[in-house]
Structure 1
């Protein structure tokens, strides 16, 4: 049981003192030791302080997996400046929305995405300072003060910043996918982050000799708190890449002597689709942690690769609610409820369902500070998420007689594609802005790789015609590449309730029809 420091700055300082010259993270560009991380985090804190940012101010971060991202995370955490990590695929309206909603005064951004910032500069209400990692851009909006990350860091002091951080202080704002409205900014404390990491350590029984591998981005909970923070808690090290490569995955694991990795979405399915090899089990990996686990390949994956799978259930707001450890894994279930939470299944009237009956999964904590505090700047959504003293997940599920939780479906209108939660609302908003589109409804349809693909059901304005490719070209500059619909289907009307809400369950039941256009079938390429 972990009983050490409970703020990010303190745990890094502790590891730097006990294991200063040992490697902490290996990036594709090089290694970072505990001591280097600690010292550069101090530099970043002093740098940010010199710009006038203080405790509870907000600073956005839009970087790939890199030492600069980790250093920024640490520096902001030491000052108490609240970090707002941004998906590096975001652009246009959604990028404007997040920077304004979170009231970000500063942004640390990779030079490769500065053009996206220039495009929206006139719409940003709070941003004043932009710190660029990499070559300074030639074209810069005069609305901001621009800085070079490398230059500022080289000039900054590495004197330790004493910010008197407490475990219940806010750490970051993570924006979830919007469902019936815009994305919500989930405010998480250091204690909530540590709760996620401690659960992962317990479920996986990690120890200092482990070496963790992740291909997930640092703007996600997964890489941050079930890999990086986990490594700090147990004193092991991490190998971090920017992308998942199925063809190179096991070679990387062999070369780096990986013992455990995290998975999400279709990753296990894609690995199983690779050509079988005599070397499939020739590696040191013995553990994998994530969700969901495709039932149809569960046994075959473990047999082929000699890797034990542990699965969890949770959310950005809650952390990890249920765990299905490899030692007593129940196929098809999410696992049993963690001792720090209380969970019930409620019917549409808010009453508990009997064992075996489907209903909404509702949750509340047994310890203070282990889940989100609120949706930033959105008290209405915060209050709405809590009803009858329970947090309503929007997910449907059931319990079996042994207390195992089963996830059934999402009440939320979110499409889950290859590890990404995609907001139907955000895609509809963009597509409805096309001059020839009357209305679009976005749903998820089953993918051959597990999880879902995006299907746009579109009504055109009277007398208009538009090629599917034209609609996708319209989307390309306005949304993340992974949100671009794979399927487009034209209809003359959408099924509706008496209150005129689109009955998406009917569209889902129809699924991919004979008149549905498939961009992969015609070879259309989405630009990244």
Structure 2
């Protein structure tokens, strides 16, 4: 986009010189101009340097979306330190694991989560300084003397906003360690360089044809790729601005878009389905939003969603390690596919022995780059996992998929989410698509649970729409007409909500750990018959 501006520090400093007083981002309560952001970034860099951080060191950040998070992000980028954004839902062992694995000497944390740290103070091997954002309800010195405690506001005010941060930062230097969402178990620290981050943003810019007149809206957290590199960095590159909230509200979503004059948003998980299931309003299509992109796109509502809300939908497939691998733009959308592989990557489908699968046959999606530096560098402190992921010189995604004759990629499921029942492979994703289309169901999650015979049985965990009731047999009758007999769930369980991480992905490992509970309905116990 701009030659020589391929580090986060460089692009922000460029914008601050170009248009210092213009607003870049609007949060729910606060806003930030380019100059304010750059000056606070300088302060944050000098603050971090005062705590002993330098190029190559790691600093954890556990904050909600807000100006403080952006200031720390920029400050660490200016200093060349590696930022370690932490999921704000983490606590206990999962939180201690990340702080130890990433060898963090400093943690910047919101006051509301301070006690999560002190409760595990004896388990933290590297942490020396804790910088608290906001007013703590307790005197931190009384809570723990294991660390040196600091007030972020006080340190930021004392730090110099004009003192230059003269550190040589190159595009291939590591900028961030993003721990994978952990929906299938222990998280791995994905090390990404500035070049890799810019590659993600540039791909999004090209796919969505963003311009200066766009205003981007995100409800995703700044500890996630989506908000960081397909919203904030995209806006920096394209010279447009951002509206960022902390949570997704289906009932308020379109009113926010109208009030803020939003032209584009990103989606993940079941966000489109949830919006579609809101009560229809005469003014649904009267909004400024022109386009949206994300994954997965529910094929059953794809055309209806666009018609109802007047929004063009593009789909992508990718991961934290790779960024975007395949794109399915609205103008050439192929229903059911993730799209065609983007020009910067090669992609194949491999069988369990590592051989390429023929067209149409499912196998593991493997990927490798055509350009240097555009994907993750390593799993931090985990060389075994890094090497294992690169078996046969292909990066193994852990996803199953297939290719058609035109080179369109189709996602089938996570390998761990494929259910093996009586010799048949069942895609949990495809079963969920059918069940979610039932008019009384809000959303669902399909998991495999151990069978008393061998392999697995299918358990459907469902959330009903408000005020709805549903007979178990009614749902199975619905399923029988729409899926193979072997995929029809044996077990049904109704819950109020599904467990999710902050990226809105369902944490299926929690459901697997619970397994067949006392409130789970078993069709075999009541003699329900599935027709072949």
What is the TM-score when the length of structure 2 is the normalising length? 0.81
**Offset from partner CA, 1:228-262 (integer Å, 9 cap, x none):** 00000001000000000111000000000000000
- Shift of the alpha carbon at 1:319? 0.8
1:148 and 2:157 are equivalent in the alignment:
no
502, 513, 527: which is aligned to 2:522?
A: 513
Matched, 1:399 2:387: no
Q: Which stretches in structure 2 are left out of the alignment for 5+ residues?
A: 420-427, 453-500, 526-532
Residue matched to 1:261? 265
The reply to whether residue 195 of structure 1 matches residue 183 of structure 2 is no
- The aligned runs of 1:363-378 (5 Å cut-off) are 363-378=367-382
- Cα pair distance change 1:9/1:453, threshold 3 Å: farther
1:90 matches 2:72: no
Q: Relative to 1, partners in 2 of residues 1:47 and 1:400: Cα closer, same or farther, differing over 3 Å?
A: same
1:1-80 mapped onto 2 (5 Å cutoff): 3=3, 5-80=5-80
Residues 1:273 and 1:52: Cα distance change in structure 2 (over 3 Å)? same
CA distance in 2, matches of 1:141, 1:453: 43
* Distance of aligned partners of 1:267 and 1:8 in 2 relative to their CA distance in 1, 3 Å threshold: same
Q: CA RMSD in A?
A: 2.6
Distance of aligned partners of 1:413 and 1:103 in 2 relative to their CA distance in 1, 3 Å threshold: farther
CA contact (8 A) 1:454 1:485 kept: no
* Residues 178 and 47 of structure 1, relative CA distance in 2, 3 Å threshold: same
The answer as to 2:166 corresponding to 1:157 is no
SS at match of 1:296: coil
SS in 2 for 1:122: helix
1:283-318: per-residue Cα shift (whole Å, max 9, x none)?
110000100000000000000000000110000111
**CA displacement at 1:3 relative to structure 2:** 3.8
Q: Distance in 2 between matches of 1:324 and 1:2?
A: 26
Q: Aligned pair in 2 of structure 1 residues 35, 453: CA closer, same or farther (>3 Å)?
A: farther
Deviation at 1:2? 5.1
Please give the per-residue CA displacement for 1:157-192, whole angstroms capped at 9, x wherever unaligned.
012312110000001111114587632111110000
Question: What is the aligned length?
Answer: 452
Shift of 1:399: 0.9
What do the CA deviations read for 1:385-432 (whole angstroms, capped 9, x no partner)? Answer: 0111111111111111111111111114699xxxxxxxxxxxxxxxxx
Partner-residue secondary structure (3-state), 1:93:
helix
Pairing of 1:93-492 with structure 2 (within 5 A): 93-136=93-136, 137-139=138-140, 140-158=143-161, 159-178=163-182, 182-412=186-416, 446=432, 448-449=441-442, 452=445, 483=507, 485=510, 488-490=514-516
- In the alignment, is the contact (CA less than 8 A) between 1:455 and 1:485 conserved in 2? no
Does the C-alpha gap of structure 1 residues 74 and 328 become closer, same or farther in structure 2, counting only changes over 3 Å?
same
Relative to structure 1, the CA distance from residue 256 to residue 373 in structure 2 (aligned partners, 3 Å threshold; closer, same or farther) is same
Q: Distance in 1 between matches of 2:517 and 2:269?
A: 30
Pick closer, same or farther for the CA change 1:119–1:374 going to 2, 3 Å.
same
Counterparts of 1:184 and 1:331, CA distance in 2? 33
Spell out, residue by residue over 1:428-462, the C-alpha distance to the aligned partner (whole angstroms, 9 max, x if none).
Answer: xxxxxxxxxxxxxxx99846555736788799xxx
CA contact (8 A) 2:417 2:448 kept: no
Partner of 2:489: none
Misfit runs of 4+, over 6 Å: 453-459, 479-482
